[in-house]
Each structure stands twice: as structure tokens, then as C-alpha cells.
Structure 1
């Protein structure tokens, strides 16, 4: 049985779409016969859920020192603010703790961000081990590789090049970023394996049909993911006197935004729900809102996109032209960044406008893990 050392900073019980990937892909690889060990720090103070079933995965947790785990940044555990002066990021102190815990494996997968983890991959390569660099987010082409000082941006470009050139395979989460990498680095060992959804999450869902039209947004609204454009669109709907309508949010909202949302009589705050409740909520919605802010990379595809697709519900997409619109390919109503158009699209969906349904099966975690397994086997 061949073994994988899967190195990730974020892992349950911390919650999130990209974090769930670090559980689902290794879990399905284990079911395919791989011996998988997860290497991740102790969850620290910023813990969203009490416990998680790792289904027999070997999870090696180790101590570390950084703002996220010490919770020293504005009482948020380092979430919501980004350090643009530390290179590659403020998680670099994880490395000695990681190598103290790391065991020998046939191959290693290093899943980033944080991008300082790729230093572990570069060290492993020098030690003679095979490794896969997984870019869960863009680096140079995204906000995480955008530093305050020009020389740091130049270092980021050099660092990304070194990672791509030294990794035995590179995996990105969007076809667009794969194309950029292939053109920039002229390599063929760069692949796309998107995020996905678990069919198990959709079993035994209670379906409830209410009298009101429910538009749901699943995710957080904070300083790095502002809802300003959504609020402007809702203000238009309020002025028009919209009825039989509810806009609900499943996730966390910064207090300054919460005060503005509460001004709408049709607003409903569900707060943070466990995974099953969150899935049940979007399944019982009439339409789903998907937002990609102008600050985010056009190559970003939020993890919740695939659970949205699985519901078969109309998706109202607020984004620029980019990877997300290309992926949905007619399976959404694209509203751009115009509050007027967003409000119009909401009204159109309420009045029965349909979108094309995207076949969800290719985004099921088991199918994605099979593609992952094929890449890993090719390296052994």
C-alpha cells in the first residue's frame, strides 16, 4: 500500500469549503487503497465546530505559533485581516513544528494557502521525495500574493516559479489558472481538480415548501468579502415594495454589516449552521446568491459553488467576467456588479425565469479523488 503525507494548515474542526477539501479528497483516496496521513496544526482557539468524524484517517496534529492560533489579531484569531508585509505569510513558523512531526511517505501533497507551506515541499524535494503542490487559491494572480512592497511582489513571482518548477505535479482548482500556469511555465504536469460536493450531505434532506420566495447566501460577509453591492440591490427591492420575499444569510456577518442588513424587513439571519443544516437550508431555498468581490482573483471558484450546483436551484451570480461564470456556463443568471441589474435578476427569478441545469456528478468528491489518484500513481 503506497502512502501519502497530506500537509495542510486548515483542517476540521475548523470549517469552510476549501477546508472540507482537505478531508474529502484524502478520505476518498483512503477508500481507494492509499495509506493517507494528514499533517496539520492543532486547531487553536478559532474553532467553528466541536468535533469531526475523520472516518479512520490518520490525523497528526502538532503545536505551532502564529497569529491564527494565538488569536492576537483583533480577537479574531487572525481571520478577516491579511498580513501583506510578511513573506510568504505569517504562518511561516509552522515549518519546524511540521518537520518535527513528519514521517516518511512515498509521496507528499502540500495544500496551500498558506503559501509558506510550499517551503516544506521545496525542502522535501531536496531530500529526494516526490511532492505535489496544490494551489487552492491563486498566489501571484490573486490577493494573497499581492504585497505592500514591490520587492516582496518580485520575491512572490520568484517563489511561485520555484514551487511550480520543483513540484513533481501541480494541481490548481480552476481551469483558467491551470492555463495561466501552463503558458507561464511551459510545463505539462499542471492539472485542474476543482472543489466538489459530497452526495452523503444531500441524503435524507427534509424538503419544505414555504409561501415566501427565499433567496439564500451561504458564506461570510467581512472586511475581505464585503456585501456592499448586495445591500445596494436590496435597498432597490425595498423601495419597490417587494413582497413574499426573504433574503437569508447562512454564515457570519461583521457587526457593521449586520446593522445595515437589519434595516430590511425581509432579511433573515440564520447564523452559523452545521453542515447538514446548511445543506438543508440551500436545498429548501428558491434561489441562491453567489458573490465574487472585485478584490478576488478572476480564477477563484468558491467551494460552495459545487453544493449550489448540486441543489439544482437557480444561481444568481455577482461577479466580473471570469472563471466562475465560465464554469457555470449558462447555469446561472449573471448580474455583473450593477445593483439595478442584481435587483432585476432577483425579480426575474421570482417571476419564474429558469437557468440551465449543470450535471453535478463530475463534481462529486469520489469522482474528483479518482482523478487525483491517477495523478499520484503516475508519479510513483
Structure 2
């Protein structure tokens, strides 16, 4: 009998790029080790890269849970004058190019008010949804994959409510990322974590 693992990831096909690869590939082989993966991902994510060819790598019949997410990037694009269909890459915070006042203001808002990232509005609805889902269909473990780091806060919330073992997969750096020192809360966070 398989154990069940809930994998919380923002990036899942049709997302393309590097962020989707690790858990898309690992989920294919978990059954060989006695684990049935259940994927939780946004229903309407704003992926910067779309690659429908990756959908063929999703194991047939795999359970995929989806919940709508509010993406602030549409608002950002309007504010800075970008086209609606234009992709916003997560690295836009660290792009080394001249910026307009509205772009600078948008970056400041993103880096200092959307904590830990722009997907923070998905945390509470996801905890509520997944807590109800897991009570009906229990899992044996949770894996969260970030960035975005909001995925880890979703997993933490579920762990606290249901006491399920949790593994956090930090794919990208949090405090060594190139724009870290530009954030308003950096000094406070560093002081708190170095006590």
C-alpha cells in the first residue's frame, strides 16, 4: 500500500522554465519508493514561461488539486504600462536597467509589503482548502517547493493544524538573493534571526 505525499508547488505544467523541473521529474519516480504524489498548484498562475510539452511528463492519473490564486502582476503591469500578455519574470526585482518612478515604486511595494512574496494572498485560502481536503483524504507527508516561499508557509500552516511531517525544498536562496539588501525588513529580519 502506498503512502501519500502532498507536494505544494507553484510551478507545474503548463509552466515552463527551471522551477517546474524538480518536482515534475521526481513525482514520476516516487511510486517506485512506495509514495503516491498528490500535487497542489494554482489553477490560474501567472507563469512567465509556458511549455505545454511538459504536460506529457505528468504521470497519467496523478491527483492534482488546484485552487484559484489572486496574482498581483496584472495590477503591476497596468501600473507600469506593460501589456497584459507580457510576462513578468521573478527576476525583475534585480534587473540592472534604468527604471521609471512607477517601476521603482512597484518594486519597493513588492519587496517590502508582499511578505514573503507576491503569492502571499494564496496562503490562508490554501491552508483552509488543504486542511479540509486532508481531513477527507489523509496524507502521510507534505513537501513544499519554493520559490515562491509562500508555498512553505502553506505547508507550515497545515503542519501546525494537522501535525503531518513536512519537508521544505528551498530551490532558490532567500537571504542571499541579489535584491535582499534593498528590502525594508532586511535589518529587522537579520537582527531577529541572529539573536
Flag the 1:34–1:50 CA change in 2: closer, same or farther, 3 A: same
How big is the shift at 1:148? 2.5
Report whether the alignment pairs 1:81 with 2:63.
no
Contiguous gaps of at least 5 residues in structure 2: 94-109
Flag the 1:7–1:147 CA change in 2: closer, same or farther, 3 A: farther
Deviations 1:90-134 (A, max 9, x none): 110111332344232111001111112221232123221210111
Bigger helix fraction: 2
Deviations 1:50-108 (A, max 9, x none): 3512122221121110135x474334343242332222111101113323442321110
Q: Partner of 1:92 in structure 2? A: 120
Counting only pairs closer than 5 Å after superposition, residues 1-380 of structure 1 correspond to structure 2 as 1-44=2-45, 46=47, 48-50=50-52, 52-53=55-56, 54-56=58-60, 57-68=62-73, 70=74, 72-73=76-77, 74-75=82-83, 76-79=86-89, 80-82=91-93, 83-85=110-112, 86-102=114-130, 103-104=133-134, 105-127=139-161, 128-143=163-178, 145-149=180-184, 151-155=185-189, 158=192
Return the TM-score normalized by structure 2. Answer: 0.69
Q: Is the 8 A contact 1:147 1:153 kept in 2?
A: no
Deviations 1:177-207 (A, max 9, x none): xxxxxxx9xxxxxxxxxxxxxxxxxxxxxxx
Moved more, 32-41 or 117-126: 117-126
Which structure exhibits the higher relative contact order, with contacts defined as CA atoms closer than 8 Å and separated by 6 or more residues? 2
Structure 1's consecutive aligned runs of 4 or more residues displaced over 6 angstroms after TM superposition are none
Other structure's SS at 1:18 match:
coil
Flag the 1:122–1:44 CA change in 2: closer, same or farther, 3 A: closer
Flag the 1:12–1:5 CA change in 2: closer, same or farther, 3 A: same
Q: Is the 8 A contact 2:10 2:45 kept in 1?
A: no
Return the TM-score normalized by structure 1. Answer: 0.38
Q: Partner of 2:107 in structure 1? A: none
Flag the 1:156–1:7 CA change in 2: closer, same or farther, 3 A: farther
Contiguous gaps of at least 5 residues in structure 1: 162-183, 185-380
d(CA) in 1 for partners of 2:191 and 2:155? 17
Larger Rg: 1
